Structures are given as structure tokens and as C-alpha cells.
Amino acid sequence: MKIGELAERTGLTASKIRFYERIGLLTFVDRRSNGYRTYPEEAVVVLDIITSSQRAGFSLDEIRNLVPTDFDTWEHDSLLEAIKKKVTDIQAMEKRLAKSRKQLVHLINEIEDKPDDMDCGENARRVLSTVFMKNTAAQA
């Protein structure tokens, strides 16, 4: 199939497909003597793997290890290892994000708990001093 049909079938632009080819992620391509590219059915699958992997948070370098260069010799074990590692990375990120969320919610509450008779400058000093003291205690 030509690049226009491949673009239509995958929802990608022709320039994006050429980009993936240029950086070596899409190797399923034949060049005709007239310079036109033709793509086998496997190119659709590879582009789907690339786009779904990007949505899952994989970098292009990580995807390079996921994309098969030949479906007959695709490394099952290395694929599983890469996916399991990404799941572990996501779990660690979720923990960091939960901690950050908790700290931000606490900060919001501290700011909103400003006594009526306190001006904003005093409240800022009060909030910042408690945040600083908590961070110092946490690092100790």
C-alpha cells in the first residue's frame, strides 16, 4: 500500500509515518525505483504498536525495543520485560503524584485556614514557616 492509504488506515499523517521511518521505528517499507514507498500490512500493526505505546507513556527510545523488526523473531521475553518495567515505573510515579497531591491539598488547607484578623502577608509567612518546618523535619 502507498503512504496515503497507510495514513488513512492508521489515522497518522504521512509526515509522521515518514518520521517514524527516518528514526528507524518503522522498517516495514519498500522503496520503488521511482522513489515511492510501499508498505506491507505489517506496517499498520507496527504503527499501531508505536502510537499505543506512546499513549501508554513509552518514550520513542523505549518503543524502539518494543517494535518488531521481524514478526517471526519478535522477542517475547524482552517485550514482557519492557512492559513490566513500564508498569513498575507508572506505579512509582503514582506514589510520587499521590504524595505531591497530599502536600498540595495540605498547603491549600493551610492557606484557606487564614484567621480573619490576619492579613495575607502574615498568613503567607505563617504558611511558609510551617511548610519549611515540615520539610526540614522530613529530611532529618
Co-location of 46 and 14 in the same domain: yes
Co-location of 55 and 107 in the same domain: no
Co-location of 13 and 34 in the same domain: yes
- Give the whole-angstrom CA distance, residue 127 versus residue 120: 10
- Give the whole-angstrom CA distance, residue 87 versus residue 81: 10
Phi-psi region of 68 (alpha: psi -120 to 50; beta: other; left: phi over 0): beta
Task: Kindly state the cell numbers that stand for 94.
Answer: 503514582
Co-location of 69 and 52 in the same domain: yes
Q: Is this structure's pTM higher than 0.85?
A: no
Co-location of 6 and 44 in the same domain: yes
Contact of 54 with 63, CB cutoff 8 Å:
yes
pLDDT recorded at residue 123: 84
Give the number of residues written for the chain.
140
Query: What's the CATH code of the domain at 64?
Result: 1.10.1660.10
pLDDT recorded at residue 140: 59
Mean pLDDT score of the chain? 87
Co-location of 99 and 85 in the same domain: yes
Average pLDDT over residues 67-74: 78
